Chains A and B, each alone.
Chain A
Amino acid sequence: MKKLIYIFILLLSVTLLVGCQEKTDDNNETIIVDNTYRLLMEAEDLSGMTEKTQAIITQAGSLGLPTSYQGVTITYRSRNEEIISNSGVVTLPTTCWIESRDQQGDEVFENLNDNWPVVIDVTLSLNGQTRTAKLLFVVAPAIGFTCNKYLG
């Protein structure tokens, strides 16, 4: 009987302690750490999706955007699909981004605002949790582009 009681005490202690082992705060309160969110953040920072946001993109073709990272599923939605598709393929635009002129609308400032900023909305999902992020790429127009679109 004694042995049974000791085993019961041991089992109870182990069971309760395992339930509390992940992390405790200053008050010895159990905190269950869910790593899902950390991974969703990591996926944005470490998956490599931001690599090509640092320089002007001058080549057409795939940006090589990752679609997964340690179990995180990553999808993309472009705000300008004509330049960057939802799958991250770049098509160099045939026109400049903005034609700039002086206040009178006469003098043209050549090549001042040729490169297009394109925002990509990112959705990251894991274990039923989802968060969003954004990427901003700058894309140069194709060789021989035109720039005759003054709006002022």
Chain B
Amino acid sequence: MKKIVLGLIMLLTFILLPGFNLQANTHGIVYKDSDYQRLHAVIEHVENVLKYGKAYNTETDLIPDAINTLTGEPAKWTFPNRAEVPYVNMANQQNFLRTLVALSNVTGSDKYKNEAVSILTEFIDNYQNVNGLFHWGGHRAINLDNLEVQSFEGPNGPHELKNMMPYYELMMEVNEEATIRFMKQLWTAHFYWATTDMNRHGSYSTAFDINVFGQEIPNHVIEFDEDGMPIIPADSPGLLPFVNSATDLAYAAFTLSNHTGDPIPSDWANYLMSQYNRASHPVTGMTVYQYKSTAVTRSPLECADPAYTNSGCGDRVARQFRDFGSIARESNVAWKNTQAVYVDNILMLLEAADKYGQSHFTDWARQYLEGYLEYAYIRVDGRNKIIPMFIDGTVTYGYVTPEVGYFGPSNMRLDYVDMPTTYLLPILRTILLTEEDEDKEKLWSYFRDIVYTFGIGDIGSLGGATPNLNIDNAIDDPFALMAMVELYDATKNPQYLEAARTIGNNIVREKFHRGFFVQSEIMLYSRLDMPDTLALLTLDAVIRGIPLSDMPYYLADTGYIHGYLLSDDGVVETRSYTQNMVYTKTIFDWE
């Protein structure tokens, strides 16, 4: 009897003592039915995209940017002359390419990666301009009807990449020579070596320069006044050096150096990104959208009309927000283009820090984010918001514009700016790449508040201790999912994994309809660049114990086409974006 009782005691102790539950161990994660259902949904989506995407024109392996989920047909751009063009813009399919590779990684089948290779092979072989630029980006794509290059901005649309951060690793595998040629020409076409100007638009007529990075790196553009404040030159001849174009140039150069071992492209990328860093506000730490203003090249008569917003009339914020004095410059605005500055830009900096040895970029990212959150982040009515302000902390909330200008009409009142879930990843990744705990605490505190306010619950104290998450949340957001996956991967706290599983299940339930992932049930088009499938596969990977470093990494999903098209009234010509004109269509708009 005593032996039985003692055995019982030992058994009871073994069961109840914490630490003995093997399911908490990464390698002991049970693959559940719901895990399989999520994977199955991604596979079904991918199979449908490939099936219907390829069915439209059997002469090509290329697939359209988006698919009509009612008919299986490609999304089409309607030009002002009523020509409807199905389009393939490879710059806008990078997350689908990453999804294909990720799917091969988690399933162990080469089938999906081979599809990605096949698509990229045809694209690179046929759609690289003689000067090295690809026919892709903001103003060019491939017409899926005739497989010809299609311009969306007049007959000869320029090359434009804004935070598209192509999947260079795969492109290198497919065609190393062509990819390297592109990465070099990206700089030749967009960067003006003699004047250190940069243009978001690159010409397809610019000759390929074999000695592209051969010039000596010049002095910094940004110098400082006697008070230590950065001086923003107003000498750019209409070539606005937007950070969202600079991130693509820098990303290409870092990838190139990493691949070839030649440090010079990396040095140039450092030089370029340094201008934004030097232009940052020395007190607040907030950074800039551009490091130059434009020179006045238009006549006083033309510029006398505030509705004439051509950048040849000088800095467009100085014109419309002149009431604020000298701080009112395009570079200093912290309420517009914030996704470009504080999300996409940061993700590129962190990628370069993590993979390409640019460890100082982690410090820059932390400086930018800490400054922005300390000065501008606010919770309003239980929502994450940004107080509109200039980067020196001058609040512009409530300001009413006296006259029309580049930033909007007259009598426009500046209100709080929404902070979307896209901010989660740059903040979290900055924390994870920061070495010292004491340097992480400030960002973690903001991150904790932001996550809580999004409704995910309390992530706990720094390092993932004692979280109290809303495991049964209703959130169906891919960025929240990736944040929970990356938190789990870093801490191995199973609460994050369970929250991620819930979010993943919600994504499938709310966004998987008619065999495709869509933004919501009523949306007509399934957009290939949606990050949801990639996010679901990163969750699948950590459940299987596959290191995230072996998985394609999310960097951006901001691909678009911008150009002239017929407005919804069927009469008026307008100039707009796919995101505003095509991907807003619902199933009720389809006749």
Contacts and interface: CB of A to CB of B under 8 A. Distances in A.
Interface of A: 1-2, 5-6, 8-9, 12-13, 16-17, 19-20, 23, 25-34, 37-38, 41, 44-45, 53, 79, 98-105, 109, 112-113, 115, 117, 119, 129, 131-136, 138, 150-152
Contact of A31 (B377, B445, B468): B468
A98 B324 contact: yes
A38 B58 CA distance: 58
Interface string B363-402: 0000000000000011110100001000001010111101
A133 B397 contact: no
Interface of B: 1-2, 5-6, 8-9, 12-13, 16-18, 21, 23-24, 304, 306, 319, 322-326, 377-380, 382, 387, 393, 395, 397-400, 402-403, 445, 448-449, 452, 458, 460-461, 466-468, 471, 494-495, 498
Contact of A5 (B2, B24, B326, B403): B2
A119 B398 CA distance: 12
Contact of B304 (A1, A31, A104, A136): A104
Given A29-B494, A98-B324, A37 B9 contact: no
A99 B460 CA distance: 46
Given A9-B8, A9-B9, A134-B387, A26 B498 contact: yes
10 smallest beta-carbon distances between A and B, as pairs: A151-B325, A152-B322, A16-B16, A100-B402, A134-B378, A27-B23, A117-B397, A109-B402, A117-B395, A103-B306
Contacts of B461: 129
Contacts of A38: 458, 468
Contacts of B322: 101, 103, 105, 151-152
A88 B322 CA distance: 31
A138 B397 CA distance: 9
Contact of A136 (B18, B324, B397): B397
Contacts of B5: 2, 5-6, 9
A12 B13 contact: yes
Taking each of B326, B402, B466, which has the highest tally of chain A beta carbons within 10 Å of its own beta carbon? B402
Nearest to A32: B466
Contacts of A20: 16, 18
Contacts of A16: 12-13, 16-17
A23 B12 CA distance: 20
Contacts of B400: 100, 112-113
A112 B17 CA distance: 67
A27 B395 contact: no
A98 B304 contact: no
Taking each of B5, B398, B467, which has the highest tally of chain A beta carbons within 10 Å of its own beta carbon? B398
A49 B449 CA distance: 17
Contacts of B9: 5, 8-9, 12
A53 B398 CA distance: 13
B402 A27 contact: no
Contacts of B1: 2
Contacts of B6: 5
Contacts of B495: 25, 31
A34 B466 contact: yes
A131 B377 CA distance: 13
B323 A113 contact: yes
A109 B411 CA distance: 11
Contacts of A151: 322-326
A115 B400 CA distance: 11
Contacts of A99: 323
Contacts of B380: 53
A52 to B, nearest CB: 14
Given A34-B468, A38-B468, A112-B400, A103 B304 contact: yes
A68 B378 CA distance: 20
B325 A152 contact: yes
Contacts of A31: 466-468, 495
Nearest to B442: A132
A37 B458 contact: yes
Contacts of B12: 9, 12-13, 16
A138 B471 contact: no
Contacts of B17: 16
Contact of A100 (B21, B323, B395): B323
Given A25-B494, A28-B21, A112-B400, A98 B323 contact: yes
B145 to A, nearest CB: 47
A22 B392 CA distance: 46
Contact of A102 (B326, B395, B403): B403
Nearest to A34: B466
A151 B402 CA distance: 14
Given A9-B8, A27-B24, A98-B323, A131 B449 contact: yes
Contacts of A109: 402
Contacts of A33: 466, 468
A22 to B, nearest CB: 10
A79 B393 CA distance: 10
Contacts of B319: 103
Contacts of B326: 151
Contact of B402 (A13, A102, A133, A138): A102
A117 B461 CA distance: 33
Given A101-B323, A103-B306, A136-B387, A25 B471 contact: yes
Nearest to A119: B395
B497 to A, nearest CB: 10
B445 A131 contact: yes
Contact of A133 (B8, B379, B399, B460): B379
5 contacts: A5-B5, A9-B9, A16-B16, A37-B468, A102-B403
B323 A150 contact: yes
A9 B4 CA distance: 12
B445 A98 contact: no
Nearest to A121: B374
A115 to B, nearest CB: 6
A115 B449 CA distance: 30
Contacts of B323: 98-101, 113, 150-152
Contacts of A119: 387, 395
Contacts of A1: 2
A44 B402 contact: no
